[in-house]
């Protein structure tokens, strides 16, 4: 296989589960009518974008994703990467990969790396000790490899979904109920802090895995998913390691760096027009496609050139997801064209023909 272009997308499915099965504290789940609308809309998104790789978040049941792909008429064209325990009882990440691209077997990573530690006695006498005891991801991270071209290395793809900004519900905790009236005014503050700590730890644990894979290997990497935080957030900064974005000479790139498709697109726009979620009238970018230096325009080791990004987000302007079948996130798709830097450099050195 020798693809000339590679399309990557990320899609939060908004709790795609079989009708009638419980969702969180909703024992009834989706009605059959709402479910049918949801399958129809999901299938139309797939048909419109039809990427080579699409990562999913908030999948509950295998059968529902299979039904959406079949409704889109794409079942024969894609391999579905769905964990065996996707039986409607928990939230998972999944993917669809165009036939012929997948190499090896996918894995779902539930546990943080064994050597991963978040603990410190403090940087100076004024800084108190800190220790975070989390040992796993809220939603298992999906990892698989693809080979878009036989003459290039395997590409590692990670699909993730980090803890949301919603405050953790602390009202069920023993310490809270031991002094309910005292803690009640602070539950939003404390719950938000806990959610932030969990999301930060998840980002750091994934970065730990990525660094182990990327350091000194020139392994092309794509990370996509709902990180529940913005382009300039600490969550994103941990994942990307805040690389420099160079404009001009092709001397950029970093061994461990990840570059956001959002920033790459902003180079092509006169203003920021990217949002994937609306909460209390605030437009945010929570869903991201992050790529290693092999996909960065100005990298010395570029293999794939960024060719543009599409965000399907008009449906976010109406809060009628149950009635319309839509989801509550924008769907992000990015295209990369095969254009290695070495080939371009040779052409420049050769000069004009004749």
pLDDT tens digits, one per residue of 132-173: 999 999 999 999 999 999 999 999 999 999 998 899 999 999
Block mean pLDDT (10 aa), the chain, length 354: 96 96 90 96 96 98 98 98 96 98 98 96 91 95 98 97 93 95 96 96 97 95 92 89 68 83 77 66 81 92 93 84 87 96 57 48
> What is the predicted pLDDT for the residue at 277?
75
| DSSP-based three-state secondary structure for 111 | strand
The third-level CATH classification (topology) of the domain covering 5-109+143-164+220-350 is Deoxyribonuclease I; Chain A (3.60.10)
Per-residue pLDDT at 247 = 53
**Model pLDDT, residue 345:** 60
Q: How far is CA 55 from CA 160, 259, 302, in A?
A: 9, 18, 23
- Distance (Å, rounded) from C-alpha 135 to C-alpha 295? 31
Full 3-state SS string of 217-247:
CCCCEEEEEECCCCCCCHHHHHHHCCCCCCC
pTM of the model as a whole: 0.92
Domain ranges in the chain? 5-109+143-164+220-350
Determine the pLDDT at residue 344.
56
What is the helix (H) or strand (E) element at residue 290, kind and residue range?
Answer: strand 287-291
Beta-carbon contacts of 93 under 8 Å, excluding residues fewer than 6 positions away, are 55, 56, 57, 59, 108, 139, 140, 141, 142, 159, 160, 161, 225
* pLDDT for 265: 84
Nearest to 81 by CA among 18, 99, 227: 99
pLDDT tens digits, 254-284: 888 998 888 888 777 655 557 677 666 666 7
Give me the pLDDT at residue 251, please: 62
**Distance between CA atoms of 166 and 233, rounded to whole angstroms?**
16
């Amino acid at each position: 296989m020798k693809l000339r272009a590679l399309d990557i997308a990320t899609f939060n499915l908004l709790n795609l589960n079989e009708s009638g099965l419980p969702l969180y504290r909703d024992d009834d789940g989706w009605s059959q009518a709402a479910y049918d609308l949801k399958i129809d809309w999901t299938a139309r998104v797939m048909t419109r974008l039809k990427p080579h790789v699409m990562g999913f978040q908030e999948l509950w049941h295998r059968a529902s994703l299979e039904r959406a792909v079949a409704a889109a008429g794409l079942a024969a064209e894609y391999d579905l990467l769905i964990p065996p325990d996707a039986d409607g009882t928990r939230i998972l990440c999944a993917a669809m990969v165009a036939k012929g691209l997948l190499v090896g077997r996918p894995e779902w990573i539930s546990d943080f790396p064994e050597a991963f530690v978040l603990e410190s006695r403090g940087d100076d006498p004024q800084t108190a000790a800190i220790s975070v005891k989390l040992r796993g991801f809220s939603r298992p991270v999906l990892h698989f490899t693809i080979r878009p071209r036989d003459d290039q290395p395997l590409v590692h793809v990670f699909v993730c979904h980090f803890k949301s900004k919603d405050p953790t519900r602390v009202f069920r905790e023993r310490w809270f109920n031991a002094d309910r009236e005292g803690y009640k005014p602070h539950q939003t503050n404390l719950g938000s802090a806990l959610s932030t700590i969990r999301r930060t730890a998840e980002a750091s644990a994934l970065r730990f895995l990525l660094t182990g894979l990327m350091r000194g290997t020139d392994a092309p990497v794509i990370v996509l998913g709902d990180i529940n935080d913005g382009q300039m957030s600490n969550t994103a900064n941990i994942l990307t390691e805040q690389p420099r974005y160079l404009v001009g000479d092709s001397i950029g790139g970093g061994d461990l760096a990840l570059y956001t498709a959002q920033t790459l697109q902003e180079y092509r726009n006169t203003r920021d027009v990217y949002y994937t979620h609306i909460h209390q009238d605030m437009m945010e970018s929570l869903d991201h496609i992050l790529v290693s230096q092999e996909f960065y325009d100005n990298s010395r080791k570029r293999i794939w050139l960024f060719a543009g990004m599409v965000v399907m987000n008009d449906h976010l302007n109406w809060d009628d997801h149950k009635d319309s079948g839509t989801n509550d996130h924008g769907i992000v798709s990015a295209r990369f064209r095969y254009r290695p830097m070495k080939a371009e450099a040779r052409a420049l050195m050769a000069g004009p023909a004749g």
